[in-house]
Amino acid sequence: MKKIVLLALILLTAACEKQEKGYSISAETEGFEDGVTVYVNAINQSNRPTIIDSTTIQQGKFSISLPVVEDNDFNYLTFNGIPQNVLFLAENNPIKMTIYKDSLRSSVIKGGSENQLFFEYLKKMTDYGKEKQELSNQYQIATKLKETDKAVKLSKQLQTIRVDENNYRTEIAENNPNSLVAVMALTDLLNLKAAPAKQVKKIYAAVQDTLKTSRLGKNLDRLITASIGKIDVGSEAEDFSAPNPEGKIVSLKESMGKITIIDFWASWCKPCRAENPNVVRVYNKYHDKGLNIIGVSLDRKKDHWTTAIDQDNLEWNHVSHLKFWQDPIAKAYGVRSIPATFIIDDKGNVIAKNLRGPALETKISELLGETSL
């Protein structure tokens, strides 16, 4: 009999431990009336939201137990009559929340290593965002006041923060291969074009296999596959050859300097023509220091192309197949809007892209050793 009782106690204890480790939510709320319905929402493999359970708020509190989570993913809470939601990671640990009706996004969520890492990541990204916005505002003011030196300094600070932000994303992914937050960070890097697809793929290869079969893992895998082969920052520029205005075949390789700008433009593109004086100024200032430019035009008519070159004083190599958006070079570089620029070093690696105005000159001055404009 004693053995039976002992066995029952062991089983009961194990059952309690198992239940304690399950997916459950207990919350205290502020500002809600009793009887308000709380919905627990998930996102299925088709990326569609679905309600998985619900409960009601009573005496400012609610609790709910949910099925064991097979694959960690984002879930969120919604409330009747309130447009915002409370986002969190579903994991097999008790989750405790403090939810504020007037500011759902300020709600406090505790419980489980995944949620802890996720909210650390979210806070860090929010802090970086605020810092970038503040510097960007100061930069805009300095530019309008024509405080060139101050604008250059602010631009460099902004670039440093962007580098730090992306380094943090990379570290999160590399140091947490068993966390869904790693998948999230890698997805952000790829979507923001902050890292080449090959680098993301290499880091993703070390991520836990079960995460790769999750909804977010599958989405990232598709994104990597679609991005591989595209020319982006960190990848090698693809050499090309095309006719210049005189009909001579000119290549990227023979047009390169210490630093080279590949400038996609067209005579009919108003933003391109508006940017051309700035590109001319940068070229004239830094050409003797090693800057070269090759212009790739998406024009259709040769006379329009050559007239624009003369009118805008574009004294560098130019090529075009005169095939509009069907230009093979534009297709190879994934150019879908112009102006578009790729800055490459003397080894042919893309080190920056799509910089215009003061940002272009700031980058060129950094690369060619200038300390100020």
Q: What is the CATH number of the domain that holds 288?
A: 3.40.30.10
Asked if the structure places residue 256 within a domain, the reply is yes
Pair 122, 172 in one domain? yes
pLDDT given at position 17: 43
Alpha carbon of 178 to those of 83, 175, 353: distances in Å? Answer: 33, 9, 33
Nearest to 359 by CA among 168, 166, 188, 162: 162
Report the pLDDT averaged over residues 208-222.
92
- Beta strands (DSSP E) in 14-81 are 23-30, 37-43, 49-56, 61-66, 73-79
355 has pLDDT over 80: yes
Give the range among 10-24, 206-220, 269-283 with minimum mean pLDDT: 10-24
The whole-number pLDDT of residue 229 equals 66
Helix (H, G, I), strand (E, B) or coil at 101: helix
Share of the chain above pLDDT 70, in %: 92
Residue 96 has pLDDT above 50, yes or no: yes
**85 lies in the same domain as 193:** no
Better-predicted residue by pLDDT, 200 or 228: 200
**Residue type present at position 62:** F
Q: Show which of 227, 255, 272 is a domain's final residue.
A: 227
Phi/psi of residue 97, nearest 5 degrees = -135, 150
In tens, the pLDDT along 122-142 reads 999 999 999 999 998 998 898
125 and 193 belong to one structural domain: yes
Q: Which domain holds residue 138?
A: 115-227
Nearest partner of 86 among 110, 65, 105, judged by Cα: 105
Judge if 303 and 347 occupy the same domain.
Answer: yes
| Mean per-residue pLDDT over the chain, rounded | 88
pLDDT recorded at residue 22: 67
Peptide bond into 339 cis (omega under 30): yes
Would 137 be classed as within a structural domain? yes
Asked if residue 148 and residue 54 are part of one domain, the reply reads no
Pair (252, 345) in one structural domain: yes
Burial class (CB in 10 A: 0-12, 13-18, 19+), 31: exposed
Q: pLDDT by residue (tens digit) across 31-75? A: 999 999 999 999 877 778 899 999 999 999 999 999 888 877 899
**What domain count does the chain have?**
3
